[in-house]
Amino acid sequence: MAATLVSLALSILFISSSVNALSLNYYDKTCPHLESTVTSAVKNGIVNDKTVPAALLRMHFHDCFIRGCDASVLLESKGNQKAEKDGPPNISLHAFYVIDNAKKAVEELCPGVVSCADILALAARDAVALSGGPTWQVPKGRKDGRISKATDTRQLPAPVFNISQLQQSFSQRGLNLDDLVALSGGHTLGFAHCSSFQNRIHNFNGSVDIDPSLKKSFAASLRSICPEHNKVRSAGTTLDSTTTAFDNAYYKLLLKGKSIFSSDEALLSTPETKELVSKFASSQEEFDKAFVKSMIKMSSLSGGQEIRLDCRRVR
C-alpha cells in the first residue's frame, strides 16, 4: 500500500494551480530539513493533546475551501475586521500554536523561505500519518494570502447540507463526488458539538422529532448528550468510535445508521456516493488510496502572494 501511495504522489510531481506550480522538491535546496521539522512540531503537539490531529486536518480543509490553501485561516482579526478564524464555523478551530511552533523552528533553519500555507499542508499530512493513516509526499510551493474575512466562512460546506449542496460546494473548487466521499472520511478524526447535529435529534420536521435515518438507540444516546435546550457549550460527541485513529470506521457507522451530521447521511442519498461509502467501509486500503488522491488535489488549490514571517500577520 505504501508503494502505491508513493507512486501516486510521484505521478503528481508538478501540479499547476491558479498562481504557481507546486513541486515535491520545491525546498530541497533552500530548506532540506523542512518536513522533519514540521513533523517534530506536530508530534510534540499530539503528546500534549490527542485532539491535535483532528484540529490540524480540519484547519487545512477550512483554509483550502476559502481562496485556496493560502494560510488565510491563520491570520488574526484586526479591530472590527474579523478574520476567518473568528467566523462562526471556525470558532472551534484550535491548535494554531502547533503551526506557530513549526513556523518558528523552520524560520530558525531557513529564514523567510517557507510559507505558512506549506507548513499547514505538511502538518495536515502528518496529522493523518501519526494517527495511523496513510502518508504521502506533499507538493509544495504555496504562497500565503493577505486577505482573511470572517464573512467568507459562509462558503464552507455546512453540516446540514444535502447532497446537492455538498456537490455544488465541492465542484466550485474543482472537486468531484469521489473527492467529496473520500474527504468526508476525515471525520474519522474529530468531535461534533451539539449545535451541529441538533437538527437531527430535536424537531427534525413537522411530523417527526428525530431523523428516521438514525438508528433509534443511537439517536437516544445523542439526545441524552444533547438535550433540546442544551446550555453546555462543550457538549457533543466524537465523529466515530475510534476518534484518535485514522481508519474507515466512519463509513462503517454510516451504513449502520450512526451518522452524526446531515451532511454525513447525505452521502447515502445517491447510488454513486453510497457505493463509494460501501467500498471504503469494506476496504481500508481503498479508502486510504482515495483519500490521499483527493487530499493532494484539494491542497493544490492555491492563491497566496507572499511568504509570511509570522503566520498570524501579513508582512
DSSP secondary structure string for all residues of the chain = -HHHHHHHHHTTSEEE-SS-EEETTTTTTT-TTHHHHHHHHHHHHHHH-TTHHHHHHHHHHHHHTTTSSSSGGGPPPBTTB--GGGSGGGTT---HHHHHHHHHHHHHHSTTTS-HHHHHHHHHHHHHHTTT----PPPB---B-S---GGGGGGSPPTT--HHHHHHHHHTTT--HHHHHHHHGGGGS-EEEGGGTHHHHS--SSS-SS-TTS-HHHHHHHHHHS-TT---TT-EEESSSSTTS-SSHHHHHHHTT---SHHHHGGGSSHHHHHHHHHHHH-HHHHHHHHHHHHHHHTT-----B--SBTTB--
Active-site positions? 62
Alpha-carbon span 149 to 299, nearest angstrom:
20
Output Rg (C-alpha) for the chain, integer angstroms.
Answer: 19
Alpha-carbon span 172 to 64, nearest angstrom:
12
